[in-house]
Each structure stands twice: as C-alpha cells, then as structure tokens.
Chain A
Amino acid sequence: MDMEQQKRAPVYEALDRFRRQRVVPFDVPGHKRGRGNPELVELLGEKCVGIDVNSMKPLDNLCHPVSVIKRAEELAAAAFGAAHCFFMVNGTTSGVQSMILSVCKNGDKIILPRNVHKSAINALVLCGAVPVYVDPRVDQKLGIPLGMELCDVETAIEQNPDAVAVLVNNPTYYGVCSNLKAIVAMAHAHGMKALVDEAHGTHLYFGAGLPMSAMEAGADMAAVSMHKSGGSLTQSSLLLLGADMNERHVDQIVNLTQTTSASYLLMSSLDISRRNLALRGERSFQKVSEMAEYAREEINAVGGYYAFGRELVNGGSVFDFDVTKLSVYTRDVGLAGIEVYDLLRDEYDIQIEFGDISNILAYISIGDRIQDIERLVGALADVKRLYAKPPARVFLPEYISPEVAATPQAAFYAEKESLPLLEAEGRICSEFVMCYPPGIPVLAPGEVVTREIIEYILYAQAKGCSMQGPEDPEIKNLNVLSGKEARNGILV
C-alpha cells in the first residue's frame, strides 16, 4: 500500500473543488443546494446539502466510473489488498446480493451456513439458486451460533460437487471466526468460488493482531460494511474482488439493481473513511481492542456476568475470535440479554447493539472513549445490584438438517395456503421459522415440514424459546405451498 497515495481522497477533493466553483445548478437534485428546502438545511446544515449533488463530469458517475470515483475505488482496493473494489450505496445487503448473483445462476447450488443473513436468502429468491446448508455449531452455554467447521464444509462439498460457491459469514456478529484460509483453499480445490459476508469485519484489514481478513485468506469476493467498524455513513459499503474475478461481469451485476443517482454524501464518506483507516487504522483499532479487553476484564470482575473473548477459541467452530466485539452472557445474573438491553436503555440512557435470549452485545468502535466504557461497566454493575434474580439456564434445541424441496425462488412465487401446524407435515414451507436461541432457522422457504420439525417447534416453544418469522406469531398455523406444485415436488 502506497501511503502517499492513500493520503488522497479523490471524491472528497473533487467535491471540494466543485463547491468552490459555485456552479449554477440547472440539474437535479431539485432542492438546489438546499435553497428550495430550508427545513432540510436546518436539519442537515449547509455543508451537507451543498454536496448533495448529481453525477456530472467533474464528479464522475458510480454506474460507470472513469475518473475520481474510479481512482477512489482503486485506492480502496489497494488499502484492503483487493484486486478491485466497488463503492456500494445500498448497504452490505447489496454487496452480499451482488456476490451471489455474480457467481450463481438459476439452479446452481451454493453452500451457506444455516444462520446466513437474510440478504443472502433474498439473493437466492432473485436468482433461483439452490441452498446447501452447513450446520453452524452452537455454544451450549452461551446459546450463540459459531463458525463453520472445516469438516462440515468438506462434507457439504463432497455431497455436492456440482456446487458453484461457498459463502462464509466471517466474523459473526459475536466476533466468531471460521478457518477462512482453509475453507477458501478447499473451495478453490473443488473449482468453487469463495465468498465472504464480512459485514462485521472492516477493521480486520487494518488492526494488528486481529483475525485474518477475507482478501488475505484468498477469497474471491467479500462484502464489507464500512459503515459499521469503518466509520463511514450508514448505508455505505464496499464490495471487494480477488484477482480471479471478472470485474466487468460483476460490474454488470452490481448495475442490475444499483441506483443511477448514487449519493455523494455516501461515496465521499467511503472515500474519507478509507483514507482515515489507511493512515490511522492500526492505531485506532489497537485502541478499540484495548478498550474492549479492558471492558471485558472489568465486567467479569463485577461478577455474575460473562464477557467472553479469546478463551472460546477451539481450533474448529471458533477458529479465531475478534476481540473488538464485546458480548456479555447475562443468564447468571438471572436476566435475559434482552432484559438487560431494555434496562440499559430505559434506566441508564445507554443504547447497545442488541440483546438476545442470553447475551448482550455492545458495539465498541473508533468513536468510543474510556469514560463511556466506565459508564457501561458501571451500569451493568448497578443492574446486577438492583435487578439480579436467581440464575436460570435456557433450553437449547439441537440442530436439524433441513430438507430442501424447492428453491427459495420457487417457494417465494408459488401459490400458498395456511394450514394448522400439525397438518402441515410433508408439505413445503413458504416462510421462515427462526428459533431464539440460538437464532438459527428451523425452516426456510422451500423446505419440507417434517414430523421431527413439528415436534421440535412444539417442544422448543414449550421450553420457552422464542419462535419468530411466520405470519402467525404463535405458529399455530404455517404457510405452505398449495396445489400440485407442492405434491409433485418438482421444484428443485
């Protein structure tokens, strides 16, 4: 990486030049630097509305970059060690979907972890590819999904040698990393592409001592949420390509669904954030890691809470752990994660990322200060003092391998009917049924509702698990495919 070059920010610099030229706008957007919408200026400020401008020659065009956006993408590619980089303006969702649409066509198989993000399943609805799921292992105490075991990926590849790609979710929301390098090598050895949903991993490219990034592991594509740990504006993201991808083809795929009026606020924020990360990222993430580790020690010293970290690493389902993620197991103070999440917000004015059945996750980033960490730790100590109850363990159901009978696309577009759960046996489901914990789908659109799954749903519900997804929140009824499509089972 050429550090002198990385000091540049071509999109930002072009906007700055453009602003000084005081060009009279007879183009969109119609607010004309805010003059037509004073309330918008009041809300966002003159500087912000002044650079909310349209694509034009001096500012390039995201649909077909030839000048400043192209240079900014090249600098980002260099900073992330990628062969090519696309600026994305519809979140990492658009990045994940572009990855899948770039390598899968109708009827192709793709190997995915079962707890894959919704955006990936939606991509399958768009392209008609067939999912092959790998069981993410589950931590029995924490009740969270882990990474993909190499041996499970190997089995999936052997059973589906015609699959075209393997998608890995790395790191997970909780910071769990799979053996990415080995999974990529295994996929390549079988002629498959390796794709990585790296929504929670921007910092891996810049911090020292953090788990391996997708590009370093040799992945073909990675979708990176710059707006999460990278510091850019919400909705801005990067799609990274390895050397063996045809960038012209990916460009066509990206443009299938991408806006032709990309926001310069988003693009300039990507440009500036990339520069900041390249120049100062290592020091910043060193500080983030130290703050998260400090918070872990202090929270564990409070007692009752378990802020987990690198001790989870087991060489398999937790091949590595991203220490910048601060997750805390709260069951031993007798509170569900979601209860602690609500208490922190309502009673202590602290908003954390999320709470699940057994854990909370506090997002630590380059914007945090140590005094805020003290507030979080202090609040957790006070929650324990005031609200603790006798510890309670939660029931954790076993993983059931899904039986895919129809593609997500076929299930999405098919005629459907609602049946009482017990009568749905043998039919093809048309909706998601998620079970928390551990936050892994029991059923996805296109899968057979087996006797085992019905019993599982009833048992898990009785044990206090939360079931989410279906139209009927109590899951007394389930939507299934109707008519001859369902009976013939011809959809795969």
Chain B
Amino acid sequence: MEFWFNEMHTQNVQMSIRVERQLFSGESDFQRIDVFDSPEFGRFLASDGSVIFSEKDEFTYDEMIVHVPMAVHPCVRRVLVIGGGDGGVARELSHYSEIEAIDVVEPDKLFVDVCRQFFPDNACGLDDSRVTVTYQDGLRFLRAKQDEYDLIINDSTDPLGHTAGLFTKEFYGSCFKALHDDGIMVYQHGSPFYDEDEAPCRAMHKKAYRSFPISRVYQAHIPTCPAGYWLFGFASKKYHPLGDFNKKRWEERGIKTWYYTANLHVGAFMLPKYVEELLEEEENR
C-alpha cells in the first residue's frame, strides 16, 4: 500500500509526502486539522490540507522568528505571540530569563489540544509559568492593547485562509499601537517564489513598510514551504535588525540551536536580487 499526502503549492506544482499513518482528523469552526506520521518528515500537522509544521523542519522557523528579534532588542520583558498555539515559539522564548510574560493568543482551541496530544515537544513551551494562553481572535485581543509589549510575534502563516485578518493594515496598525516605543514585531512573510504567492508577499511588505519606521525582511530554508523558501518580516519602531544586533551578548547566552547562529543572523537579511527588487518596488509604490 502506498499512502501519500499531497499539497498543491500552486495549481501546477504539488508536494507529496509519503505517509505511514494518519493519527488525527478533526474540524473546528476555523479549520480542518490532520496529523500524520511520515518516514521523511516525522510527524506533521496540516491545516485545510496545507502543512503547518513537521517535526523535521519546525525548528527552523521557531528559531528564526524568536532569536532574530531577541538578539536585537536589548531588554524584552513582555511578548505577545499571535497564533503559535503549537507552543514552538513559546518554547524558544522560554530560553530567555529576562522575559516576564508571554501571552499566546490562539483563536482555535482544537489546534492547541491537538498539538498538546501529538506534539508534546512543542507544546511543552506552553507549560512555562510565564505563558498565558488566550483563546481569542488576534485582532480582537489587540484592539484594547496600547503600549504593552516589547515584542509581538505573528506566527500565523496563511494570508488567504482563516488568519487573513492578521496580514492586514489594521493588524499592523494594531500591533504598532500595542507595542512600546522601542517595540519590535516579527511575522511570517510567506514565500516570494511562485507567481501566485508573490502578490500577498508584496502586499505584506507594503503594509508593514508604511506602518513602521523600520521594516526589513529576512529568509530561511524550510523544505515543507512552497519552493522550500520562506521569508520573515522584521518591523520595528526603533531598533534596526543589523545596526542594533548584539552578537556578543547573544552568543554569551549559550542557547542551543539547530538553525540560528549569530553569523546566520546577518546573512539572513542578505536577500536574492529578485526579492530585493520586489520589496523595493513596494517601498517606492
């Protein structure tokens, strides 16, 4: 018997992962969630048919979305994680002792429950005593927040699905308002490679660029993402991701990582020409 999981990355490209068995399938008000075991990627979770993370490559974006801003901001005390119900981001944040509070806002309780059951290595991040999980729409949560956070991490991945509201001008505006005067927001910036992904990727940069004084983009290699190539956004009120990067301080912390290094931090902001060009076009639009 052959059992394959197929995901359409575009109308003309699909990614297939051989599956050993399906462990879970369920539907909430927000999405359909499936969990599989696979020989190559280990256990992975799909939302509405798209891979959200796998055991094999989740460390890449959890590390990249946490350590990059943490190595720039001199003192992060309060962090807001939008989405991130799997706990991977909270797990990386828990390495930092100066953090006092981590608010994780996830609309879908089923997602958290499924991650707790099938991905305990991620979900353990939610058990840190500094973490508070709130089951609420991210925009709704943010609306009442003003000048409260040092760092906001938008861990939602899909600008077209049920988290579309987290890729909008009002979201970036709400984050700006919720951050302290020296706050940073990082977010999943999508993949720029395929034609149909380019427009949302452009739109995100355009909105962030107009909402924050500093807005830069960095990259990582994530095999289960479309074209295996993924971008992150770094939007900041004060600190520059390279100018204010404190390599020595971060290395002294001795945090064990698999993807992120202080050298890679700098390299991640060096983008291919075509990406640089499309981002610059949006900045000058």
**CB pairs A–B below 8 angstroms (22 shown):** A349-B168, A369-B162, A371-B137, A371-B139, A371-B162, A374-B137, A374-B140, A374-B165, A375-B168, A377-B143, A378-B139, A378-B142, A378-B143, A378-B165, A378-B171, A378-B174, A379-B169, A379-B170, A381-B174, A382-B169, A382-B170, A385-B173
* CB of B177 within 8 Å of the partner chain: yes
Which B residues touch A386, using CB under 8 A?
Answer: 173
Chain A contact residue count (CB 8 A cutoff): 18
Residues of A within 8 A of B171 (CB): 378
Name which of B30, B168, B169 has the most chain A CB atoms within 10 A of its CB.
B169
Interface check B183, CB cutoff 8 A: no
Asked if B233 is an interface residue, CB under 8 A from chain A, the answer is no
Asked if A311 is an interface residue, CB under 8 A from chain B, the answer is no
Please indicate the chain B residues that have their CB under 8 angstroms from the CB of A370 in the complex.
137
Residue of B with least CB distance to A376: B170
A348 at the A/B interface (Cβ < 8 Å)? Answer: yes
Q: Would you call A347 an interface residue if the criterion is a C-beta within 8 Å of the partner chain's C-beta atoms? A: yes
Contacts of A66 in B (CB 8 A): none
Q: Which residues of A contact B84 (CB under 8 A)?
A: none
Docked pose: A267 CA to B174 CA in angstroms: 45
Contact B165 A371 (CB under 8 A): yes
Closest to A343 in B: B169
Report whether B177 and A378 are in contact in the complex, using a CB–CB cutoff of 8 Å: no
For residue A302, CB closer than 8 A to chain B, the reply is yes
Q: Which of B30, B107, B162, B170 contacts A378 (CB 8 A)?
A: B170
Most buried by B among A302, A349, A371, A386: A371
Chain B residue numbers with a CB within 8 Å of A382 are 169-170, 173-174
In the complex the two chains form, what is the Cα distance from A379 to B167 in whole Å? 12
Give the nearest-CB partner of B163 in chain A.
A371
Name the interface residues of A348-381: CB closer than 8 Å to any CB of B: 348-349, 369-372, 374-375, 377-379, 381
A347–B169 CB distance below 8 A: yes
Within 8 A of A (CB), among B142-169: 142-143, 162, 164-165, 168-169
Instruction: Please report the C-alpha to C-alpha distance between residue A372 and residue B177 in the assembled complex, in whole angstroms.
Output: 21
> Are A385 and B177 in contact, with the CB atoms below 8 A?
yes
Cα of A383 to Cα of B25 in the assembled complex, Å: 40
CB-contacts of A335-351 with B (<8 A):
347-349
- Is the Cβ of B143 less than 8 Å from the Cβ of A302? yes
Main SS of chain A's interface residues?
helix
Least CB distance from A115 to B in Å reads: 34
**In the complex, chain A residues whose CB is within 8 Å of the CB of B143:** 298, 302, 377-378, 381
B interface, size bucket: 10 to 19
Partner-B contacts on A (CB < 8 A): 298, 302, 347-349, 369-372, 374-375, 377-379, 381-382, 385-386
- By secondary structure, the B interface counts as helix
What is the chain B residue whose CB lies nearest that of A375?
Answer: B165
Bound together, the chains give a CA A378 to CA B137 distance in angstroms of 11
Which residues of chain A come closer than 8 Å to B137, judged between CB atoms? 370-371, 374
Give the distance in Å from the alpha carbon of A371 to the alpha carbon of B174 in the complex: 15
Kindly list chain B residues whose C-beta atoms are within 8 Å of the C-beta of A348: 168-170
Task: Give the Cβ gap from A374 to chain B, nearest Cβ, in Å.
Answer: 4
Contacts of A385 in B (CB 8 A): 173, 177
- Residues in B whose Cβ lies below 8 Å from that of A347: 169
CA distance A378 to B139 in the complex (A): 6
B144 nearest CB neighbor, chain A only? A301
Residues in A whose Cβ lies below 8 Å from that of B142: 378
With most chain B CB atoms within 10 A of its CB, the pick from A349, A374, A386 is A374
In the docked arrangement, what's the CA distance between A371 and B165, Å? 7
- CA gap between A198 and B139 in the complex, in Å: 36
How far is A378 from B172 in the complex, measured between Cα atoms in Å? 10
- A379 close to B168 (CB less than 8 A): yes
CA of A302 to CA of B139 in the docked complex: distance in angstroms? 13
C-alpha spacing A371/B28, complex, angstroms? 14
Q: Which residue of A lies closest to B107 (CB)?
A: A371
| Residues of A close to B162: CB separation below 8 A | 369, 371
Please name the 4 residue pairs, one residue from A and one from B, whose CB atoms are nearest each other, closest first.
A382-B173, A378-B170, A378-B139, A379-B170
Per the bound structure, the CA–CA distance linking A235 and B137 in Å amounts to 35
Residues of chain A lying within 8 A (CB to CB) of residue B140:
298, 374, 377-378
Which chain A positions have C-beta within 8 A of B168? 348-349, 375, 378-379
Using CB atoms, name the residue of chain A closest to B167. Answer: A349
Rounded to whole Å, the gap between the CB of B160 and the closest CB of chain A is 12
* Cβ-defined contact, A374 with B139, below 8 A: yes
CB distance from A111 to the nearest CB of B (A): 46
What residues of chain B lie closer than 8 Å to A372, measured between beta carbons? 165
Q: How distant is the Cα of A375 from the Cα of B139 in the complex, in angstroms?
A: 7
As a 0/1 sequence over residues 19 to 41 of chain B, the CB contacts with chain A under 8 angstroms (1 = contact) are 00000000000100000000000
Q: CA separation between A377 and B174, bound complex, in Å? A: 11
B107 with A375: CB separation less than 8 A? no
Do A381 and B170 touch across chains, with their CB atoms under 8 A apart? yes
**In the bound complex, what is the Cα–Cα distance between A142 and B173 (angstroms)?**
29
Could you tell me the distance in whole angstroms from the C-beta of B150 to the nearest C-beta in chain A? Answer: 20
* A362, chain B: closest CB distance, angstroms: 14
CB distance from B178 to the nearest CB of A (A): 11
A381 and B145 CA atoms in complex are apart in Å by 12
CA distance A348 to B142 in the complex (A): 17
Please indicate the chain B residues that have their CB under 8 angstroms from the CB of A369 in the complex: 162
Question: For the complex, what is the distance from the CA of A349 to the CA of B177, rounded to whole Å?
Answer: 20
Residues in chain A near residue B164, CB distance under 8 A: 371, 375
In whole angstroms, how far apart are the Cα atoms of A379 and B107 in the complex?
19
Closest chain A residue to B136, Cβ basis: A374
User: CA separation between A385 and B142, bound complex, in Å?
Assistant: 14
Known: A371-B137, A371-B162. 12 other contacts (CB 8 A): A302-B143, A370-B137, A371-B139, A371-B164, A372-B165, A375-B139, A375-B164, A377-B143, A378-B140, A378-B165, A378-B174, A379-B169
Residues of A within 8 A of B165 (CB): 371-372, 374-375, 378
Shortest CB distance A291–B (Å): 13
The residue in chain A whose Cβ has the minimal distance to the Cβ of B143 is A381
**Per-position binary interface string of chain B over residues 176-219, scored 1 when its CB falls under 8 Å from any chain A CB and 0 otherwise:** 01000000000000000000000000000000000000000000
A386 to B139, CA, bound (A): 17
Distance (Å) between the CB of A126 and the closest chain B CB?
Answer: 46
Nearest A-chain residue to B172, judged by Cβ? A382
- Which residues on the B side are within 8 Å of A374 (C-beta)? 137, 139-140, 165
Bound-state Cα–Cα, A379 to B174, Å? 9
A375 CA to B170 CA, complexed, in Å: 7
Find chain A residues with CB under 8 A from B169 CB.
347-349, 379, 382
Instruction: Choose among B142, B169, B170, B177 the residue with the greatest number of A CB atoms under 10 Å from its CB.
Output: B170
Compute how far the CA of A369 lies from the CA of B143 in the bound complex, rounded to whole angstroms.
18
A381 to B165, CA, bound (A): 14
In the docked arrangement, what's the CA distance between A374 and B169, Å? 13
Q: What's the Cα separation between A381 and B170 when bound, in Å?
A: 8
Task: Report the Cα distance A302→B174, complex, angstroms.
Answer: 12
Report B119-148 CB contacts with A as 1/0, cut-off 8 Å.
000000000000000000101101100000
Q: How long is the Cα–Cα vector from A371 to B107 in the complex, in angstroms?
A: 9
B174 neighbours in A (Cβ, 8 Å):
378, 381-382
Which residues 211-258 in B have Cβ within 8 Å of A in the complex?
Answer: none
